Amino acid sequence: MHLSNAAKKMKAMMLPQFGGSDQFRLEEIERPSPGRGEVLVRIAGTSVNPVDAKGRAGELPQLFPAERLPLLLGFDASGRIEEVGTDVTDWQPGDAVYGFPGADPGTAMVYSRGTFAEYICLRVDEIAAAPKSIPLAEAGAVPLAAMTAWHGLMTQGEMQRGQRVLIQGGSGGVGHFAVQFAHRLGATVYATASGRNTEFLRELGAEVAIDYNTDQLQELAGQMDLVLDLAGGKSEEASWAALKPDGMLVLAAGQPNPGLARSLGQRSRFAMAQSTPDDLGRVARMLDDQQLRLTISGHFALEQVGEAQAQLERGGSRGKLLVTVSQ
């Protein structure tokens, strides 16, 4: 069926220049068409993540080069398939999926497909069936945070049952998934948050909930097998100090500070999320089996992406901030 020019357009929150959260502009742009091995998804929900805010501020030129401006940002997507490209046999229009886009083919880390829009083309190796136990739009708050937590613990962190694991920033988007994963997989979980969120950490499965404004972290010196540091900055020194001599530090907020890096056999890695059907499917099953809980503390419309990012940057939000694109 031939589509009119109007039908091939979509609304998107574009970033014409780097700057504050007020830089986003609602525009009408060309709707993408699925290529080989891709599906076109009508986005129901997405969310904001720290990487989006840093990209918007121009702090991640390796991911979002200035020459690519205006940019379409956003890393999470849930929705229904609108069209399928060639060589797609396992998915059909109407299927509910979720996932997030990877880097552009042929590049190391450059991203040009964003989810702050009505549609996105995703490769079939970037999606899985959306969880059925939560509204489809809310599934858009899950992929990047859950995959960062999963791979930070299991792939980069090599977590084992019975280990002592410290999660710095346990009440946020990635952190609230990480606490639950670590607890479900048999680790003894220590987690930090502001004082008002320590009870929330215990509800998620943390055996020890620590107010990062106190000196409690000092009592953990040399005890942790693994630290997943989602806060970065001044928390990194405490993360290093908490590790056993052969422990592992996984950082999600940036590369290790060379001035803090230890030479006592401790190791460090950068948390890298991967969007794969198997891992996304595992998370969807955990949600459907009530083994995993999604917490959403803020709801926004597509036109309010800037406001959502501003709230994220202010800090203190539990879990995720959801952006609903379509119902």
CATH of the domain at 252: 3.40.50.720
pTM given for the model: 0.93
Per-position pLDDT tens, the chain of length 327: 344 444 689 999 999 999 999 999 999 999 999 999 999 999 999 999 999 999 999 999 999 999 999 999 999 999 999 999 999 999 999 999 999 999 888 776 788 899 999 999 999 999 999 999 999 999 999 999 999 999 999 999 999 999 999 999 999 999 999 999 999 999 999 999 999 999 999 999 999 999 988 878 888 988 999 999 998 778 888 999 999 988 999 998 776 666 666 655 667 887 778 889 999 999 999 999 999 999 999 999 999 999 999 999 998 899 999 999 997
Clarify whether residues 172 and 194 are in a common domain. yes
Question: Number of structural domains, the chain?
Answer: 2
Look at residue 92 and tell me if it is in a domain: yes
Clarify whether residues 164 and 58 are in a common domain. no
Clarify whether residues 101 and 191 are in a common domain. no
Going across the sheet that includes 243-251, the strands are 208-211, 188-193, 164-168, 224-229, 243-251, 267-270
d(CA 258, CA 256): 6
Clarify whether residues 127 and 164 are in a common domain. no
Look at residue 281 and tell me if it is in a domain: no
Query: Which of 270, 286, 305 lies at the terminal end of a domain, its last residue?
Result: 270
Look at residue 299 and tell me if it is in a domain: yes
Closest CA to 140 of 170, 169, 167, 117: 117
Q: Say which amino acid occupies 155.
A: T
Closest CA to 323 of 304, 122, 310: 304
Clarify whether residues 162 and 190 are in a common domain. yes
d(CA 112, CA 164): 39
The answer to whether 257 and 272 are in contact (CB under 8 A) is no
Look at residue 231 and tell me if it is in a domain: yes
